[in-house]
Amino acid sequence: MPILGIALDELYQYLGETLPPGRLEDELHRFGSSVEGWAELGRWRCPRCGAVTESAEPGTPPVACDGCGADLREVDPPAEDLGTVRVLRMELLAVRPDLFDPPGLARALRGFLGMEEGAPEYVVEKGDWSVEVDPALAGPDVVRPRIVAATVHDVDLDEARLRSLMKLQENVHWALGRDRKLASIGVYDLRHVSGPNLRYRAVPMDGVRFVPLGFDPDDPEAALTPAEILERHPKGRAFARLLAGARRAPLLEDADGGVLSMPPIINSENTRVTTKTREVLIDVTGLEDRHIEKALNIVVTSLLESSPGAYARTLEIRYESGIRRTPDLAPQEVHLCPVETSRLIGVDWSGEEVAALLRRMRHDAEAREDHVRVLVPAWRADILHPRDLMEDVAIAHGYDRMPAVALETATYGGPLPREGLAAAARAALAGQGMLEVMTLALTSEEATYAKTGIPDRDRHVRLENPISVEQTMLRVSLVPGLMETLALNLGHPYPQRIFEVGMVTFVDEAAETGAREHLVAGFALAGDGTGYADARAALDALLHEMGTDPAAVEYAPVEIPLFLPGRGAEVRVGGKAVGILGEVHPEVLERYRVIHPVAVAELFLEELPGC
C-alpha cells in the first residue's frame, strides 16, 4: 500500500484547529486511516517544470521530479531547496481518494470531530466552454473514449498548494485510475488555453508535434510527436503500455489547435500551472464515466475547498451520441433502512440517530417515515451499495463503542477427516522419537529432481511467474525438504530423526482446478549405523498405526538414483504403490554435504485402505 505524506501545517490550516499530540493519530485510527508515523521531508523545486517534489532525506534532492520525471540530482540548473516540512505518514486507502490531500482529509475530519455536519456547498456555474469528442477514440485504433472537464476560477495556488495538487493527481491516478488506465487527469492554466471550443480527438502517432511538460519550449528539438514522446519522455516511457497497440494517440487541443495534453501520458509545457495561475482547466479521460467523474469531482472540490471564494464552471461534453455537462456535483440519493442498519451493525438506532451519524460522515441525511434519505457527496467514490453507508454509520458511532453481543449461532462443528489422518501419522512418527519439521510447499525442479535423484514424472504444478529460481513449482515429494533440513543441521548431534506430514500436489486433469493435493508422511533417519532396516521398521510401525493390514503390505525392489542400488523399495498395499523407502545414495548425500548414512521413506496416507 503506498504511503501518503500529509503536511501537518496544511492539514491544521484547513481543519481550522490544532489537535493535541497523539489525538490526531487516535482520531484517524478511529476513522479508519492508518497512521504509519511521522517524517521530516525535504522539498525541492524542479528547474524544468517548476513542480515541487518531496525527498525522504531532507538534504538530498529526489531522484525523479513528480511533474516531469527529471532526475533532480542531475538537473542543471540545480533543483531549488525549499526547506523541510513535518508530515503525517498514512497508508493510502485506495477507496477514499477524497482523503488524499489536506483539504479533503480536513473536510472529513471536521465532520468526524463534530465541527461541521452534512456536506459543504460549492459554487458551480454553468459555463460556455465545450469539448468536442472524436468518435474514433472509441476504437479500434485507440481506446480512450470518455472525457470530463471543468474550469475552476479564483483559485489561490501557493507552493504548498501546488505541490499537494500535483500529489493528489498522482495518487488519484493510482487509486481510482489504476495507474492512469481508468482515469487520467490533466490540469492546465486557463490563461494559456484558447476557448471556448476544445477538441478531444485521435491523431496519427507521428501527425502532431508539441513540447511535453518539462521540455524547454525554446529548444526547437523539444517538440515531439506522440510516438517520440512514448519513446523519449520519462513519463512517456513509464506509461507507454497504456497506449500499447494503439495506432493513433488521444490528444486534447484548444480552440486554436494548440495541444493541451496527450492523455493519459503528458501535458504540454505551455499550459503548465504555476503559483501565478488563478484559473484552471481540469480534464479527466478514461474508459467509462463513473471513474473519471469521481476523479474530476475530487480534484475540483479539493481546489474549491482550499480557495475560499473560488467557484467552478461546467463544460459541455459533446459526444456523437449526445451531450453531457460536467462537473456534476449533484449528490447521489440513497435510501437507507434504519432497521436493517441497526440489525446488521448490532446497535439499536432510530432513523434520527442514523441520519445524525451519517451527517458526521459529511453526508446530507434526514430521517423519513421508514427510511433515511441520504445524499452522498459527489466526491465519494466508494458508495456502491447502501451497505457502504452502514459502515459509515458504524465508524461514526465508533468501533470501540460496539456493544458485546454473544454469537448465538448454534452449530455442531467438526474437523476434516484428513486432519485426523495427519494427526495420527504425526503421533506415530513423533512417538518413534522423530522431530517434526515443516518445509516450504514451493520448490524447484532442480531441488526436487536433479539434487535428489527422484525421477521427474512431469506431473508437477508449474508456476507462470516464479519470483525466484528456487520456487518454480509446488512440491511433489517431502524427501527434498527433509534432505535440505539435514543439510541445514550438519553440526547437530547425530543420530538425527526427522519427519514431516504435509501436502504434495500433482497435476490432475480430473480435478476442478486441474491439480490435486495428497497428504503424505515422510521421514529421514541419519546417523552412523542407520540403514534400510531402520526405515523399514519405522515405516512398518507407521503402517500399523494407520490401521493397515500387514498381510496386504508388500515391498518390491525399486532402482532410482535416490537410493543405493539394491537398497530401495516401493511399498505396495493391496497391490497399489503407496510409498517408497531406502538408503540414500552417497552421491546424493555428497550434494547435501551429509557425512552420515541416511535412510528415508514417504507414504501417501490417503492411498491406504480405510484412510
Partner 1 sequence: MTETFRPQEAAVLRALAAREGAAAVEEIAREAGLDQSPVAAAVVRLAELGLVEVEEESREELRLGSRGKGFPGGEFPERVVARALRELGGRAELPDLPGKTGLEMKQVGESLRWLASRGWAKKEGKTLVLGDPWKDGEPDLQADERLVSRLRDGGPALREDLAAEGLPVDEALALLGKRSGVIETRTRRRRFVSLTDAGRQRVAGGVEAREEVTELTTDLLVSGRWREVDFRPYDVTLAGPRVSLGKEHPFRRILEKTRRVFLEMGFEEVESPYVESAFWDFDALFQPQDHPARDMQDTFYVARPARAKLPAEELVERVGRTHEDGGDTGSLGWRTRWDRELAGRPVLRTHTTAASIRALAADPNPPRKVFCVGPVFRRETIDYKHLPVFHQVDGIVIDEHASFAGLLSLLGTFYRKMGFERIQFRPAFFPYTEPSVEVFVWMESRSDWVEMGGAGVFRPEVTEPLGCRVPVLAWGLGLERLAMFRYELSDIREIYLAHLRWLEEVPLCRS
Q: Which of residues 86-105 bind partner 1 (CB under 8 A)?
A: 93-96
Residue with cell 541419519: 526
Of the candidate spans 131-139, 300-308, 364-372, 505-513, the one that interacts with partner 1 by CB under 8 A turns out to be: 505-513
Q: Single out the residue of 121, 219, 509, 528 in contact with partner 1 (rule: CB under 8 A).
A: 509
For residue 372, the minimal CB distance to partner 1 (Å) is 16
Write out the binding residues for partner 1, residues 280-299 only, by CB under 8 A: 287-288, 290-291
If one counts every other C-beta atom within 10 angstroms of the C-beta of residue 247, the result is 11
Distance CA 18, CA 33 (A): 18
Q: Single out the residue of 113, 344, 553, 577 in contact with partner 1 (rule: CB under 8 A).
A: 344
DSSP bridge pairs for 125: 313
Contact 206, 262 (CB under 8 A): no
Residue 182 vs 599, nearer CB to partner 1: 182
Label the pairing between strands 311-319 and 124-133: parallel
For residue 593, the minimal CB distance to partner 1 (Å) is 15
Residue 124 binding partner 1, by CB under 8 A:
no
Q: Single out the residue of 412, 528, 556, 610 in contact with partner 1 (rule: CB under 8 A).
A: 412
Residue 321 vs 411, nearer CB to partner 1: 411
Q: How far apart are the first and last CA of the chain?
A: 45
E strands, 256-405, are: 259-262, 266-267, 279-286, 311-319, 322-326, 332-336, 364-367, 372-376
Distance CA 454, CA 440 (A): 18
Residue 67 burial by Cβ neighbours in a 10 Å radius (0-12, 13-18, 19+)? buried
Contacts of 213 (CB under 8 A, 6+ apart): 49, 67, 68, 235, 266, 267, 268, 269, 272
- Chain mean position to CA 73: 30
Residue 326 binding partner 1, by CB under 8 A:
no
For residue 291, the minimal CB distance to partner 1 (Å) is 7
Instruction: State the DSSP string of 30-57.
Output: HHT--EEEEEEEEEEE-TTT--EEEESS
Distance CA 312, CA 318 (A): 19
Backbone angles phi, psi at 486, to 5 degrees: -60, -40
Residue with cell 534432505: 483
Q: Single out the residue of 135, 196, 466, 609 in contact with partner 1 (rule: CB under 8 A).
A: 466
Residue 474 binding partner 1, by CB under 8 A:
yes
Q: Single out the residue of 73, 192, 237, 516 in contact with partner 1 (rule: CB under 8 A).
A: 516
Q: Single out the residue of 218, 468, 556, 610 in contact with partner 1 (rule: CB under 8 A).
A: 468
Residue 492 binding partner 1, by CB under 8 A:
yes
Label the pairing between strands 124-133 and 197-204: parallel
Of the candidate spans 53-61, 146-154, 314-322, 429-437, the one that interacts with partner 1 by CB under 8 A turns out to be: 429-437
E strands, 119-182, are: 124-133, 146-153
Label the pairing between strands 259-262 and 322-326: unpaired
For residue 491, the minimal CB distance to partner 1 (Å) is 9
Of the candidate spans 122-130, 246-254, 307-315, 440-448, the one that interacts with partner 1 by CB under 8 A turns out to be: 440-448
Residue 139 vs 431, nearer CB to partner 1: 431
Residue 358 binding partner 1, by CB under 8 A:
no
For residue 481, the minimal CB distance to partner 1 (Å) is 9
Residue 31 binding partner 1, by CB under 8 A:
yes
Element (H, E) at 312: strand 311-319
Residue 373 binding partner 1, by CB under 8 A:
no
Contact 581, 568 (CB under 8 A): yes
Residue 307 vs 496, nearer CB to partner 1: 496
Contact 380, 373 (CB under 8 A): no
Count of residues near partner 1 by CB under 8 A: 96
Distance CA 107, CA 291 (A): 21
For residue 172, the minimal CB distance to partner 1 (Å) is 15
For residue 472, the minimal CB distance to partner 1 (Å) is 9
Residue 304 vs 476, nearer CB to partner 1: 476
Residue 346 binding partner 1, by CB under 8 A:
yes
Of the candidate spans 114-122, 241-249, 354-362, 497-505, the one that interacts with partner 1 by CB under 8 A turns out to be: 497-505
For residue 443, the minimal CB distance to partner 1 (Å) is 10
